[in-house]
Structure 1
């Protein structure tokens, strides 16, 4: 019997699996809301990794299209002198966010993360109390507390920012582009 299709639900479980390292309580609540078990989440992640690393399998954006379907939005982005394409898909678990895949001019996948949906206002970020887990994206935190210094993440789906949130300097950690935690520098 062929394996069941890998669906947007499974993809959400992949996102949650990496976030569980930092916010197990939030992930537990989200998993319960989705009606899936820890074993389901682990199996979705295992299947995703197998698909990502399979010889002759789909790669880059074609893998996302096969799982998530046609992008909801196709946007043009300028990064310096380069013009890139951004493909955005809805993620039901986070209705105000979209999963973005940023493509180079040659079609290579440059970045994959959660961003605020076009036209949806972001959170008002002014103090450390506003920096709660899952409250903002990398871009929103960088803009709110500029200048932000990018930091290397601890895994391929993780990013860091050093921010000045008066009067403190903090290191904010993001998974799939969504804030997970911060600590004082």
Structure 2
């Protein structure tokens, strides 16, 4: 995690543009239910208080619900700036554009938005940055919080079955993975904004 420069920090209660720092606080707010300690460390790395995180989430929700709300693709550009990369991508029979932005909290990841030709956003989540080393995922012990993104877990423990998320911005995967003794276990993994948060292990 790269600490935010002082110039990027805004005093609590000060209104202003919604910044990449604010957006990262929104991501953290969604992750706080599962991993409060990780979120607290990341929040402090951004130089933000709990009040800052609550305020950022409140402003984000207001932006989403406003009758004058921007389209999602435009909203991300206005908050995060021009994307670092824009790549044409084909998913099944569908053509789309993958737009990616770096975030200081997770330098090895990118926030990716998939945009249809008509401008509709199909998906928005964290993915591994191009060229960044992928985690080694072999057993249950490797599936620690924030260790991997959705597609990495799906590839490492194929075949994986999608599960319905428990809330917006959450995804689930069901698969089997070996424990430390090599016994294969049923796993339900939950992701928030594409980043692994927790696993539930069955027999």
Deviations 1:129-167 (A, max 9, x none): 100000000000000000000000011100000011031
Equivalent residue runs for 1:35-114 within 5 Å: 35-114=47-126
Q: Is residue 137 of structure 1 aligned with residue 149 of structure 2?
A: yes
1:78 is displaced (CA, Å) by 1.0
Q: 2: CA distance between counterparts of 1:3 and 1:44?
A: 10
Q: After the TM superposition, which of the residue ranges 106-115 and 2-11 deviates more from structure 2? A: 2-11
Structure 1 gap ranges (5+): none
Q: 2: CA distance between counterparts of 1:175 and 1:46?
A: 18
Q: 2: CA distance between counterparts of 1:159 and 1:102?
A: 16
Aligned to 1:120, what secondary structure does the other structure show?
coil
Higher gyration radius (CA)? 2
1:146 alignment partner, one of 135, 158, 161: 158
* Aligned residue pairs, count: 184
- Runs of 4+ in structure 1 deviating by more than 4 angstroms, as ranges, are none
Q: 1: CA distance between counterparts of 2:160 and 2:69?
A: 38
Deviations 1:10-61 (A, max 9, x none): 0000000000010001001111111111110000000001011111121211
Q: When the two structures are superposed, what TM-score results if normalisation uses the length of structure 2?
A: 0.89
Deviations 1:105-130 (A, max 9, x none): 32200000000011112101000010
Name the Cα RMSD after superposition: 1.0
- Checking the alignment, whether the CA contact within 8 Å between 1:84 and 1:104 is kept in structure 2 is yes
